[in-house]
Amino acid sequence: MKKFGTFIIAAFMLVGLSSFDTPAETLVKDWVRIGTKKVDYKLDRDVMHVGLDDGRFKKLKLMVSNGNLNMHRMVVHYANGSKQEIELRHNFSRKSTSRVIDLKGNKRIIKKIVFIYDTKNASKRKAKLHVFGKH
């Protein structure tokens, strides 16, 4: 009987732990994580350096965790010197993802991605911005 009680307690603990935040990878399956940025509480501009080591991508997707984020736009800079400006104008809530963002051309080597966002009146917790790519 004592073993059964221990089993029940362990089962409840596992169920309780599974209700916490899930990793970003489980929300964006079949995508490669390019990087993560912790955002600040103001209008801000952040740069995420990518590079050749991370590969060539045809599509991007954003995911926000921990807090809310007002994304204004992002600019994707390619290794060949060209860039693509993407207007997003989207208010991300915690655990939300963006639409699939098609990149110009075929598989492109991304040098860096510049994000312009704010968190005004949106969150009490600092959000994390996760970027995923698809080959």
Instruction: Supply the pLDDT for residue 21.
Output: 45
Query: Which pLDDT does position 62 carry in this prediction?
Result: 96
CATH of the domain at 98: 2.60.120
pLDDT of residue 8: 52
Cα gap 59→107, rounded to integer Å: 8
Tokens of 5: 């009680």
Confidence of residue 121 (pLDDT cuts 50, 70, 90): low
Whether residue 15 lies inside any domain: the answer is no
Q: What one-character-per-residue DSSP string does 60-73 give?
A: EEEEEESS-EEEEE
pTM of the model: 0.76
Structural domain count, the chain: 1
Q: Which residues contact 74 (CB under 8 A, 6 or more apart)?
A: 62, 85, 86, 88, 113, 114, 115, 116
Is 117 within the bounds of a domain? yes
- Rounded to whole angstroms, the Cα distance separating 59 from 62 reads 10
* Residue where the block lists tokens 């599974």: 18
pLDDT tens for residues 81-103?
999 999 998 899 888 999 999 99
Residue 14 maps to a domain: no
Domain assignment present for 5:
no
How many Å apart are CA 75 and CA 113, to the nearest integer? Answer: 6
Interval 12-33 mean pLDDT: 56
Q: Is 114 buried (19+), middle (13-18) or exposed (0-12) by CB count in 10 A?
A: middle
In a domain, residue 16? The reply is no
Asked whether residue 4 is assigned to any structural domain, the reply reads no
The answer to the question of residue 8 being in a domain is no
In a domain, 65, yes or no: yes
Boundaries of domain holding 107: 23-134
**Which residue reads 């600019």 in tokens?**
75
Residue 133 has pLDDT above 60, yes or no: yes
